[in-house]
Amino acid sequence: MEPLSLEKKILITAAVLALSFFAVFSIAIPLFGIGLPTCITDIKPFQKSEVLFHSPTHYEVHYVAKMWAFEPADLTIPANSTVDIYLSSVDVVHGFHIAGTNVNLMAVPGVVNYRRVRFDKPGTYDVICHEYCGSGHHHMTTSIRVTDPALGTQPSRVAAQPPTQAGHPGQKVLQDRACLACHTLDGKPGTGPTFKGILGRKEQLQSGKEITVDEPYLRESIREPTAQVVKGFAPTMPKLPLTDDEVNQIVDYLKTIR
Ligand code: CUA
């Protein structure tokens, strides 16, 4: 066999290098979950933030970046959820980095960037703008709270609530159904709105409407939890098979939580 000419050697070396380059990419992209930004303005143009509920473990969030905030401002989802993030900007170019993850997107006006993220570990994830966007840039943050659904059944968490009106039948229903895992009685933040002072409280709904919480609203929210969700909360509450008596007991009890 004739020895290879120099030209052929160079051609073969170049081909091997090019192939290994593609091989490294095709292995590394799924391995490290590298997301490539896409331009899909034609499909999902929006200027309005939104949280869409697909299932208890699948959410779609439309983030809108603007000087100098992200909307929705705070997001709460249960652990082991998949979130489809669509990101756009209404003014200038912003960054969107979820600390502790490799999610790193650009918010570009007129462009919608997409990334699917799975949140396994409970905790609070800070989202920061990493593209200089003016005097408020350094304060442009939001957060994603990932709650542990398992805590819902842990009696220690429920028992940690301060004892109020002990022995009220409505309180027993709330405890038995693990409602208190998400709704606190003492005003502390939770996965759902706190029960403290709930009756008569003004709340802004996901729809933008402002309401004063009254008995009909409470009853509806117990029966149809996702019908009118308070702004800033994910529609994660399940429908519970409660009897009319139990609903009455809950409402009676909530009236006493001031
Ligand atoms: Cu937005 Cu920096």
What is the 149 CA–ligand 1 centroid distance (Å)? 33
The atom of ligand 1 lying closest to the CA of 137 is 2
pLDDT tens digits along 229-249: 888 887 777 677 677 888 888
What pLDDT, on a 0 to 100 scale, did the predictor assign at position 46? 63
What pLDDT, on a 0 to 100 scale, did the predictor assign at position 257? 81
What pLDDT, on a 0 to 100 scale, did the predictor assign at position 85? 93
CA-nearest residue for atom 1, ligand 1, is 94
Q: What is the largest CA-CA distance in the chain?
A: 96
Beta pairing class for 141-147 and 113-119: unpaired
Residue 97, ligand 1, Cβ within 6 A: no
What pLDDT, on a 0 to 100 scale, did the predictor assign at position 186? 81
What is the 135 CA–ligand 1 centroid distance (Å)? 9
For the segment 161-168, the average pLDDT, to the nearest whole number, is 51
pLDDT tens digits along 53-76: 888 888 999 999 998 999 888 888
What is the 164 CA–ligand 1 centroid distance (Å)? 45
For the segment 30-45, the average pLDDT, to the nearest whole number, is 60
Mean pLDDT of all residues in the chain? 81
What pLDDT, on a 0 to 100 scale, did the predictor assign at position 36? 62
What pLDDT, on a 0 to 100 scale, did the predictor assign at position 117? 93
Residue 50, pLDDT above cutoff 80: yes
What pLDDT, on a 0 to 100 scale, did the predictor assign at position 208? 85
pTM: 0.46
What pLDDT, on a 0 to 100 scale, did the predictor assign at position 164? 41
Tokens of 57: 């473990």
What pLDDT, on a 0 to 100 scale, did the predictor assign at position 154? 32
pLDDT tens digits along 186-240: 887 777 888 888 888 888 888 888 888 888 888 888 888 888 888 888 777 767 7
pLDDT tens digits along 140-158: 999 998 888 766 433 323 3
Residue 127, ligand 1, Cβ within 6 A: no
What pLDDT, on a 0 to 100 scale, did the predictor assign at position 141? 93
Residue 159, pLDDT above cutoff 60: no
For the segment 20-49, the average pLDDT, to the nearest whole number, is 71
What pLDDT, on a 0 to 100 scale, did the predictor assign at position 17? 95
How many CB atoms within 10 Å of residue 102?
12
Residue 177, pLDDT above cutoff 90: no
What is the 138 CA–ligand 1 centroid distance (Å)? 7
